[in-house]
Chain A
Amino acid sequence: MGKEQQQTYWRSLNELAQNEEYRKFAEREFPENATELSDGVSRRNFLQIMGASVALAGLAACRKPVQKIMPYTRQPEHMVPGIPLYYASAAPFRGNLNGIIVETNEGRPTKIEGNDLHPESKGRTNIRQQAAILELYDQDRSRRIRRNGESSSWDDFVAFCRDHFADTGRRVAFISESSSSPTLDRLRNKALDKFPNGRWVTFETYNDESVTTGTGMVFGRRLRPLYHFDKARVTLSLNDDFLQDSDNDVAYIGAFAQSKSVPDPDARPSRLYVAESNYSLTGSNADHRLRIKSSEIPLFVFALAARLSEDVSGLESYSGYHNTFSDHSWIPVLAKELLDNRGQSIITAGAEHDAAVHATVHAMNLALGNAGQSVSYLDVPYVAQTNQNHAFRELVDDMKAGSIDTVVMIGTNPVYSAPADLDFEGALNGISEKIHLSLHYDETSRTSNWHVNRAHFLETWGDGHSWTGVRSVIQPMIQPLFGGKSEVEFLAAIVDGEDTGGYELVRDTWRELLPGGFESSWNEVLHDGLQKDTRYPEVTVSRATAFQALAAEFLVVRRDEPSDAVELVIKADPKLHDGRFANNGWLQELPDPMTKITWDNVALLSPNTAERFGIPPARKFGDPNQQVIRITTPGGAETEIPAWVLPGHADNSITLYTGYGRQGIGRVADQVGVDTYNLRTTENRLFVTGVEVNRAGRTYVIASTQDHHSMEERPLVRDADLDYYRENPTFAQDAVYVPGIYGDREHPVSLFSDKVFPDHEPQWGMAIDLNSCIGCGVCTIACQAENNIPVIGKREVRRGREMHWIRTDRYFSGDDRGNPKVMHQPVPCMHCENAPCEQVCPVAATTHSDDGLNQMTYNRCIGTRYCANNCPYKVRRFNFFNYSREYLTTGDDPEIIQMAMNPDVTIRFRGVMEKCTYCVQRISRAKIDTKNKTGDSVKPPDGMVKTACQQACPANAITFGDLTDKNSVVSIQKSKDRNYVILEELNVRPRTSYLAKIRNPNREVSEQS
């Protein structure tokens, strides 16, 4: 390795990639198209990062699996084997970044956490960011560049670009995913300058075009609304699942949880009203929820606007308007709440609703004085000035008309996800040159002439802005495993006809962006993960004069559907989104927050609607077979999909999720679920009314992780209305009678010594605030990533053998058929002081540690499963098969997934029990660090140990720490009156406790179903 490469760690990777001598060597040793050897490529890069000499890399090609530990001949700076390094970066999703910190072990990224310094992440993450690690190590990612399906090389591609794009008169259409990257934007401008006949369209399957178009109608400018849920007293969500289906979900969840927090009985939590058709995660956190068809949302919005127009100015166009919802009982209640909380309320609507709905919502927010207070409007330079949905449709028309020569597609997959009526595939087939950059060799790649395999964001340089405009640089954590290229490298090759590295491209852009000395500012940006004081400008909005006329138009064209007409609502999957995460096993196996279904999409419908179609409204316990229904839209599109009864769903409405039914993508995505995009058209992006539903006469097996949905009136999740809580602050603790507790006794009287533990500090404990928890499931993924939990597949999940160490239980309560309440409860191991599992293990494989952990010694376990049987919380997980082996050694390239493993956590063999350890490896590391620092103490300061679930939780619902420290956050949480443990009467003395959920209902609302 050259001297220069030693300068900075990441730079050395980049330099190494440029090393011509090395590349020749690699090409000679591993021909690019020899797939059976392609594992050598990844292995090689891995070794490289380990600091092995280039010559040693050839060992991976030995026929016999020789495993050698390579010593560092020169140890890279900062790197101590066994000590992870942390780098700041940013994770993009739909063009918006969020700050992350990546843990790397000997050069392998193994875990993603939020960036504490980032104002939107605040150290928290969502399921997509947690699962990005597995996406990086996805063996099925495209590994080579293809020309008409045949293997090609980057050099060939660059040569092609130089040649093809030399003719600047070409009619080039760029179809890009959304992006907020200054570098991409720079290249975009360059491209549009170079190709006068070129055109740039952003295609995002689910996007904010309606929202920004709506702002354009009201304010005369296309703006991005930013909601401050922490400042809101009242929030009304109209079919908007802002806690889950949002680019800014991490920040929104945090702010929402903060506004709902009830630190003491005098607290004034906010109130959330949700009107929606599907029972969404946001709906499940509502204080009041109205079941309403998605197709009726516009009527409801206009009726509300009409009612508000009586009291506020600015909604004059709506005054006097009357429809079927004008007399709805919710309208006056909402109006009163919103008027009482002017400037402190938020109205949001689902992004895929019409611009008219959004315009009305923005107008109401403005009229209520929320704009500038609880709702900000940001001027985002990366939001196109025209509606990109329309632009995309026009482009497809032009493609069909033959007025496009070359199509360059950057990261999107329109063949799969574009509205069905456009027949994008057909249009694309008529184009002579189609170039596609993507992570997988997907539907669009197969239709293209050129496929360039894309590098993952953890492998490349990039940049961009967060939702609010915080600018970050994306740093690579590892060399591209499969030699992929980033979008900027790809575009630079097209525009310049040259092979320029992402590092130079990004730095070139940032030279303009960074004030002062570039290198030091650049290093600071890399170190912090963001550029300080960057934010999109907030705009003080006012009503455009044209709005009056536009609003009047909204109200004219509404025709009332018959109320028993069945609507079909198509939404992005909570886990796979538009399908881009379909090959991610962690996300596939994560139970859907509401249905607890894994590995499938279903047609969600209400019990009443199910009965209408002859489907039993209640599932038989233990029967995984679900009725399949055939849905036919008025346009003639048809699909067959299993029906799933979701109590609380609106009647005469069916919700489908997209992102499933992929073919030829990878071993995880293929054949899972049903492709529902054929039902989604340009005109019916969100819903289609008047669909026909028939039973298909067959059943389909669905793997759900929760078979029973009622708490059976057991006090597991304890909740109360705010008023009740104020009168009975200890209601949660009083919910059960525990014999033998009297006076100040903490535990029941016992014949034996009360004390179970030696005097030892610290004693670990956890508290989970159910009032904060929204049920998103990020804790499960974070735990899976941290603790090397295998993915076991649909068959095993169906058999009830899911391995997640922390699960989120979801219960329905109340009137089951109508509009039940939903409660979410994360359940990790309780680490009982008086643990029933420990007493029954015949070989003492599960024992208690001095610091109060219920430990599981895998080596000692013989697998009787007695501990799991005797666990009242059923948190123990058994390796019924050699799941880890299947997970880590199958496929042509097992070494790739192996790189994702956390080296601090043992891989469990078949036949042994496992369970939540309170992240004992993190505890141990903190203890060692503390001892190194202090010399004798093994008591880490409060906050030093964070469990993976705690660290990931965007709602800050989980606290963990030392119970002997009365000032620790967890001790303070546990001393609150809402604190309780479940099954206290068993006297197992759990260390994990819960804080009761407090609802803040409005007494004036008569709940309607």
Chain B
Amino acid sequence: MSQNTATVPDERLVKGNHDFASITKLISDIPQQKTPLWWYIAFGISNILLAVMLAMVVWLIWEGIGVWGLNQPVGWAWDITNFVWWVGIGHAGTLISAILFLFRQGWRTAINRFAEAMTIFAVMCAGLFPAIHVGRIWTIYWIFPLPNSMQLWPNFNSPLLWDVFAVFTYLTVSTLFWYVGLVPDLATMRDKVKGKISKMVYGAFALGWTGGNRQWQHYEKAYMILAGLATPLVLSVHTIVSFDFAVSIIPGWHTTIFPPYFVAGAIFSGFAMVLTLMIISRKLYGLEDIMTVDHIEKMNIIILVTGMMVGFAYAMEFFIAWYGGFEYEKFIFINRALGPYAWAYWTMITCNVVAPQFFWVKKFRRNIALTFALSIVINIGMWFERFVIVVSSLATDYLPSSWGYFSPTYVDVLTYVGTFGLFLTFFLLFMRFLPMVAIAEIKAVLPQANPAYYRSQNGHSSKSE
């Protein structure tokens, strides 16, 4: 390659003067260090929240669904809002792991482990709500197609059944994918840790990984296959979640735009959640060299793109409501913007459409404090998006006589807040005991991983060669 056609070199993905050893040390040291005080505090708070959630769930099951604020037109409210919200957050992980992997996006390596863990815990939080929202949880196994003497099968026409399959599949594949990626790093941990028990535990989960050539070959193939399997799931889960609404007959729900709109929204909120968590943990664990401002900027660009898609979908819904000429749909959209739930609608618009516009400006995209703030704003906005869809459509549907306003009870609120306890408890345990960056994978994007590295004169990466 001649000198005058040289491309602009990419920014280095890992900052600082790291080599393989320092990367290994940087990441594998985290679980081995003494547990920091802040972790105990955070874990304590998370546990309290988790206990609150459990108490609320027990109360709900003991007393009945009536402890929530649901009423006759509004049969779903915070329960399904929270479900869709958490599932949406769970989207980022698999997208980063699988789709970006298939697209050979090297920058994913800094955040994929982290995002996948978030995905699994978010899907766990999500899965809680469909389970507890039923009136008789002790019969919930009837939704599974279990052979029985009465030949009673679930209703395969029901989107709620599709949901069950979609979410379970997603959880299974995400967990497998995450675990397969973890195996080489678990072996690293096994080799590093001092304690006998921890060595045994890490060793057991490392499945006898030695880092041999054949193992790497199998690993790479398995990872590729799982990435291939996970990719359609990224699109399918939220598509199917959106079918819960799109397949129904209720104006505001019965909308064909929902599948792509929901997927875009899910990625939007998932990336925002990854950012929220990442910005905190990179600071706390000194991982700024790995999770760099460049990463944040790239993610902000995705947020901007998906945010615009979501905004487009909002506009499109209005257009179709007018263009479709269906009185009831027209009403519901006007009512969303001007009716009793206008406050929720405009919160949603502000958070989801207006807020991401900052990211047109490079300076803002690279501003960590602003990114952190906006990532939270976006997730608030996305929660309201689901709330607006679920509640405002039900509250004012076909027969005005049945219209009713939904107000949450303390149980609604505390159950939702409590799921953060569930999420953070698991997440803190993950940060404490597992390598939160894929050590093996991040090494692959170091300059040293380039076979040409050691041949180069200056010892620095030179991709132009």
Contact = CB atoms under 8 A, between A and B. Distances in A.
Interface in B65-94: 65-66, 69-76
Contacts of A865: 65, 70, 75-76, 133, 135
Size bin of chain B's contact surface:
35 or more
B326 to A, nearest CB: 8
B135 A870 contact: no
Contact of B136 (A872, A912, A988): A912
A874 B72 contact: yes
Interface string B241-264: 000100111100000000000000
B407 interface: yes
B142 interface: yes
Contact of B64 (A843, A874, A879): A879
A207 B239 CA distance: 67
Given A799-B69, A986-B249, A869 B142 contact: no
B140 interface: yes
B401 interface: yes
B158 A800 contact: no
A983 interface: yes
Interface in A769-813: 796, 799-802, 807, 809-811
B403 interface: yes
Nearest to B161: A842
A878 interface: yes
A323 interface: no
B403 A910 contact: no
Nearest to B153: A844
A811 B248 contact: no
Contact of B405 (A622, A807, A842, A913): A622
A836 B399 contact: no
Given A842-B160, A881-B63, A911-B65, A708 B142 contact: no
A865 B158 CA distance: 13
B19 interface: no
B29 interface: no
A880 B159 contact: no
B208 to A, nearest CB: 42
A877 B72 contact: yes
A866 B63 contact: no
Given A879-B64, A881-B64, A843 B397 contact: no
Contact of B66 (A836, A880, A909, A913): A880
B247 A874 contact: no
B183 to A, nearest CB: 37
A862 B142 contact: yes
B158 A983 contact: no
Interface stretch (A188-196, A242-250, A709-717, A726-734): A709-717
B82 to A, nearest CB: 15
A861 B63 CA distance: 18
B135 A863 contact: yes
Interface string B369-387: 0000000000000000000
A800 B404 contact: yes
B72, B158, B247, B331: residue with the most chain A Cβ atoms closer than 10 Å: B72
Contacts of A90: none
B376 to A, nearest CB: 29
Nearest to A882: B64
A861 B142 CA distance: 9
Given A840-B159, A842-B143, A869-B250, A862 B134 contact: yes
Nearest to A868: B75
Given A707-B404, A843-B154, A862-B135, A872 B64 contact: no
Contact of B398 (A622, A710, A714, A841): A714
B64 A910 contact: yes
Contacts of A796: 66
Nearest to B71: A800
Contact of B397 (A841, A874, A877, A988): A874
A840 B398 contact: no
Interface in B294-353: 327-328, 331, 339-340
A742 interface: no
Which of A623, A800, A801, A912 has the most chain B CB within a 10 Å cutoff? A800
A712 B340 CA distance: 15
A913 B396 CA distance: 21
A323 B94 CA distance: 85
A865 B132 CA distance: 12
Q: Give the interface SS of chain A, mostly helix, strand, loop or mixed.
A: loop
B155 interface: yes
B7 interface: no
Contacts of B398: 714, 872-874, 983
A706 interface: yes
A711 to B, nearest CB: 6
A839 interface: yes
Interface string B133-169: 1111001101100000000111101111100100000
B215 interface: no
Nearest to B248: A870
Interface in A680-725: 706-712, 714, 716
Interface string A810-848: 110000000000000101000000001001111110000
A597 to B, nearest CB: 14
B402 interface: yes
A621 interface: yes
Nearest to B394: A869
B327 A840 contact: no
A120 B37 CA distance: 84
Contacts of A913: 135
Nearest to A717: B401
B405 A843 contact: no
A860 interface: yes
B16 interface: no
B451 interface: no
A152 interface: no
A653 B396 CA distance: 33
A864 B160 contact: yes
B333 to A, nearest CB: 14
Contacts of A912: 135-136
A647 B142 CA distance: 50
B212 interface: no
7 contacts: A622-B406, A840-B247, A841-B155, A844-B155, A865-B75, A878-B70, A881-B66
- Give 10 nearest A-B pairs by CB, closest first: A863-B135, A622-B405, A911-B135, A800-B71, A880-B66, A865-B75, A809-B401, A874-B402, A844-B155, A911-B136
Interface of B: 63-66, 69-76, 133-136, 139-140, 142-143, 152-155, 157-161, 164, 244, 247-250, 327-328, 331, 339-340, 394, 396-407
Given A809-B401, A870-B249, A878-B65, 12 more contacts: A622-B406, A800-B404, A839-B158, A844-B152, A860-B142, A869-B76, A870-B250, A872-B250, A872-B398, A910-B136, A913-B135, A988-B249
